[in-house]
Amino acid sequence: MCGIIGYIGHKDILSVLISGLSKLEYRGYDSSGLCVQNSGNLTIIRKCGKIAELSAALSQSSLSGKVGIAHTRWATHGEPSEKNAHPHSDCTKSIALVHNGIIENYHSLKELLEKEGHVIETEVDSEVLVHLIEKFYEGDLEEAVMNALSYTEGTFGIAVMHKDEQRIVAARRGSPLVVGIGENEMFIASDVSAILNHTKRVIYLNDNEIATITNTHCVTKNLGGEILTKKVDEVQWTIDAIEKDGFEHFMLKEIFEQPQSIANTLRGRVVDGKVKLSLNVDVKNVKRIIITACGTSWHSALIGKHFIENLTRIPVEVDYASEFRYRKPIIYPGDIMVAISQSGETADTLAAIKEAKAQGATTLGIVNVVGSTIAREVDGGIYLHAGPEMGVASTKAFTGQLVALLLLALYIKQQKGEKLDNELLEDLQNLPTLVKQTLESSKKIIDLAEDFKDSKDFLYLGRGINFPVALEGALKLKEISYIHAEGYPAAEMKHGPIALVDSHMPVVFIAPHDSTYEKIISNMQEIKARKGKIIAVSDKGAEIQKLADIVFKVPSVRDELSPIINILPLQLLSYYVANVKGLDVDKPRNLAKSVTVE
């Protein structure tokens, strides 16, 4: 939610800020803006819409300077408009601020500041913060920011500059920030992708920390003013990983990257018939596991429940993080909470972890982004190593999460002293090859996209371990093509959704040849009898061909691996349908990649 970049150094400031923002655009794209310090003044330029609008507005600009901050917005308070875009500034136009997060005591602060004569021009909560900093400013920006934050409730990742100071002050509580260290230049950013083409040396800020950067120094303190000694990390991601590499969209690139990303998740983790994980947590005596997540990661959690319960017989509960945190959950001694998150920044998932920890649970994370807040909050965990996922619609993270969950289930079984199935381990090692084959043979789905682009509704049906695949297939379609889609357990269809079925309704069946196969065939017949258009994802040929209008044929795999294979044609279906509709696949309306507000 919202992306921030700040720069202080000798390079062309507009290109550093604009290229940084374009890497952060996946975090929000309602509006954008920047501020550059120029001859003792602050110049602020803001635009409604995507970064391209801001970039176009600056194309003829000769604006230059050595200190600047920029922001891409996902609106929380106040509609997406130029006026509400960041940076915001104070009454004297001496201070500029960009903010990610929500100021919860916005109303009381606004009232207080207005009584003192501040003119607050927008409905944006962030604007009160810059006025609060102005109130405390007496020649030292860092001190003023610290003072202002001591009165601030809520979440923030901020970068602030003053017209008379050659530095940027940044602080975080609940919204990620990273400092990038270059040669006579420093950066501040919401995540490393914005600065990766300049430096790989970074300092991750923790909650309630403040960093003051000049072009040569970075001083970090806690919000109480004590100086902190922070570790400088070396980022492992490459620049190529955040480029489209010839693909039209990141989403398509990430779909086709899955053979590699799955191989990365597996690398070094299955050795000589054993699963090797450095979990940092003893799982041998676990009594119950609670998996929590949001969105696509929650769908992985539902499949993870199957893996863990089937392989270890340990009971697993799956909770939406946003529900878990507010419903007085019961935690027993010996419970482990597993939190799944691609970004490692999702606010609800983080809050659920904190709640579980407070009640005595041990926590594990299944996270993609190394060094993210959730990765640092949990007691131990598994990184996906899937590389950066830039498309808002999650694809390679989903399959990586499934592989990580399967490894976790196998590892728990092994730690309990039970023998692992060697064939399953071999099949797991062979998975990247099967994923590659499936993707290659699914490319022809592109020819069908035109037929579905005008559909109003889709139904996705699956059973057992493939029911969450139906949920995920439906989510993929609705979030990028704006076609209403529902995922349902196939047997539940008769209890309501079948009323929707007519000749205009495409119904996608996930129909692997497993113990649920016969039942799925009956469900298909019920749809056929009502003239629904059947699309089947199946490893079975002839029989399905008779019933289904379209079959996406996939390789036969064992039950545990079938969700990973079956989701692939559904990812492509949603991509091609959205693309043929001419929609912005990587930046679907109203969404942001990383949901750092509740």
Binding site for ligand M6R (CB under 6 A): 294-297, 341-343, 346, 349, 392-394, 479, 591, 594-595
Residue 131's contacts (CB-CB under 8 Å, 6 or more residues apart) are 90, 91, 113, 118, 120
**Nearest by Cα to 436 from 259, 282, 300, 584:** 259
Kindly state the DSSP code that residue 344 receives in the 8-state scheme: S
Kindly state the DSSP code that residue 598 receives in the 8-state scheme: -
Which three-class secondary structure state does DSSP give residue 295?
helix
Instruction: Report the residue number, 98 or 393, with the smaller CB distance to ligand M6R.
Output: 393
Q: Indicate which residue of 396, 476, 478, 593 is catalytic.
A: 593
Residue 396's contacts (CB-CB under 8 Å, 6 or more residues apart) are 254, 255, 257, 258, 261, 386, 387, 389
Instruction: Report the residue number, 134 or 345, with the smaller CB distance to ligand M6R.
Output: 345
Report strand pairing: 218-222 vs 209-213: antiparallel
Distance (Å) of CA 378 to CA 156, 381, 479:
21, 7, 29
Which three-class secondary structure state does DSSP give residue 535?
strand
Side-chain-facing half-sphere of 558: CA atoms under 13 Å: 13
H or E segment and range at residue 550: strand 550-553
**Nearest by Cα to 509 from 483, 529, 490, 484:** 490
Radius of gyration of the chain (CA): 25
- For 462, phi and psi rounded to 5 degrees? -155, 170
Q: Which residues pair with 486 in a beta bridge?
A: 459
Give the count of beta carbons closer than 10 Å to the beta carbon of residue 484.
14
Dihedral over Cα of 353, 358, 364, 367: its sign: positive
Answer for the pair 297, 394: CB distance below 8 angstroms, yes or no. yes
**Nearest by Cα to 280 from 409, 378, 356, 379:** 379
- For 274, phi and psi rounded to 5 degrees? -125, 150
Instruction: Report the residue number, 319 or 479, with the smaller CB distance to ligand M6R.
Output: 479
Instruction: Report the residue number, 261 or 394, with the smaller CB distance to ligand M6R.
Output: 394
Distance (Å) of CA 401 to CA 147, 160, 397, 563:
42, 37, 6, 11
Q: Indicate which residue of 2, 35, 218, 294 is catalytic.
A: 2
Q: What angle do CA 374, 379, 381 make, to 5 degrees?
A: 70
Nearest-approach distance from CB 176 to ligand M6R, in angstroms: 12
- Does the annotation count 218 as an active-site position? no
Structure tokens at 167: 């530095």
- Does the annotation count 2 as an active-site position? yes
Give, to the nearest 10 degrees, the angle between helix 467-481 and helix 562-580: 20
Q: What is the dihedral of CA 591, 255, 269, 404, to 10 degrees?
A: 40
Which residue numbers are catalytic? 2, 593
